Homo-oligomer: A and B are copies of this chain.
Amino acid sequence: MAYDKENDRNVTIKDVAKRAEVSIATVSRILNGKDRVSPLLTERVLLAAKELQYQPNDVARALKIKESRSIGLIIPDIENPFFPALVRGVQDAAKIHNYAVILCNTDGKTDEEKKYIQFLYSKRVDGIAFTESVDNKKNIALLDSLGIPVVLLDRRVEGMKASGVSTDNRLGAFIATKHLIDQGKRRIAFISGSPKLSSGADRASGYQDALLHYSIQYDKKLAFIGSFTYESGYKAVENLLLSRHQFDAIFASNDIMAIGAIECLNQYGIRVPEDVAVVGFDDIRLATWYKPLLTTIRQPVYEMGQYAIKLLIEHITGERSSPYEKIFVPELMIRQSSGGLEEAK
């Protein structure tokens, strides 16, 4: 019943062979350019293929050679401003090697992740790039059991036999906090991301490292648990305000929480950076469009996506066999929200 299937004028290798008066093996050989074949036949076959507008059928090919030239990309949500650049990096790298990328949005739900992993396996993708959203051993184990190359994006997972790419989150958080301290701030509030994620936990560690290093007392009452969403940033500050604890700065574990935080501060008539300095994390594009311009820690997201696929493909082709952990180094982008800019002038 499907569209156009009757007058399906699909031309196969067989048709080409017939027209060029050779065997299908010969056609295949010429088209793949692996084996040598005489110039005479080559020309005839190429001509026939062009005349018939032959387009190889990759699914038959995939079945035979057990290689689909496609990879799965699992992320929580493409609408989250962090991901478009990552996805673009992935896609550009995949394109170079002629891999198709199948996009999957899980909204951070463990069972969606599982469904997609199985879905992708049924499609016999050659590899999977995975950004897990909650530290879930089960899905990691599932991935491991598939016997398919996997690379983990933006997350560290202990004891997994897969490669990974991430940013040094602990260092980034350290730098961010240090920057605030350098501005003379001493009562620095912290909004964490999901603490179950390595990225969330590591940023919390970096924050504490910096306090410790500069002999500032860590104050539990200034630390809030967020979830990497705008709303959680807003809420955190609202709670902070309600608690009436003094603070002169905020380090939020990502940019959208930082923006949520600033929006809340504004709502209560508190000025940024004059009254409270704010630093975010990620350096999404919005950070340079938002007012005040957001001081933040830059992750090279596009490059991370690219590198992940480079690694994945190396595993697929067998060029690389043992897991490798690529860690990018974060960079402080000083803008308005931390008040660091005026100082610099």
Contacts and interface: CB of A to CB of B under 8 A. Distances in A.
Interface string A49-81: 000000111111011001110100000011101
Given A63-B59, A121-B55, A3 B318 contact: yes
B2 A316 contact: yes
A5 interface: yes
Interface in A254-305: 259, 285-286, 289-291
A121 to B, nearest CB: 6
A100 interface: yes
Query: What 4 A-B pairs have minimum CB-CB distances, sorted nearest first?
Result: A291-B291, A1-B318, A58-B122, A4-B147
A36 interface: no
Contacts of A246: none
Given A1-B318, A2-B316, A100-B119, A259 B289 contact: yes
B59 A148 contact: no
Contact of A122 (B57, B63, B101, B316): B57
A147 B9 contact: yes
A239 interface: no
A111 to B, nearest CB: 13
16 contacts: A4-B149, A8-B147, A55-B118, A57-B63, A58-B122, A70-B123, A79-B88, A81-B285, A83-B84, A91-B105, A100-B102, A100-B119, A100-B120, A102-B102, A286-B286, A290-B291
A87 interface: yes
A124 B289 contact: no
Given A2-B317, A102-B102, 5 more contacts: A3-B147, A59-B124, A78-B78, A91-B104, A100-B120
A211 interface: no
A103 interface: yes
A315 interface: yes
A191 interface: no
A308 to B, nearest CB: 15
A316 B147 contact: no
A85 interface: yes
B78 A87 contact: yes
A98 B104 CA distance: 12
Contact of A3 (B7, B121, B316): B316
A317 B59 contact: no
A231 interface: no
Given A289-B286, A290-B289, A103 B87 contact: yes
A70 B101 CA distance: 11
A177 to B, nearest CB: 25
Contacts of A119: 98, 100
Nearest to A315: B3
Nearest to A80: B84
A6 to B, nearest CB: 11
Contacts of A123: 58-59, 70, 100
Interface string A134-170: 0000000000000111000000000000000000000
Contacts of A83: 84
A331 interface: no
A92 interface: yes
A79 B85 contact: yes
Given A78-B84, A122-B58, A2 B102 contact: no
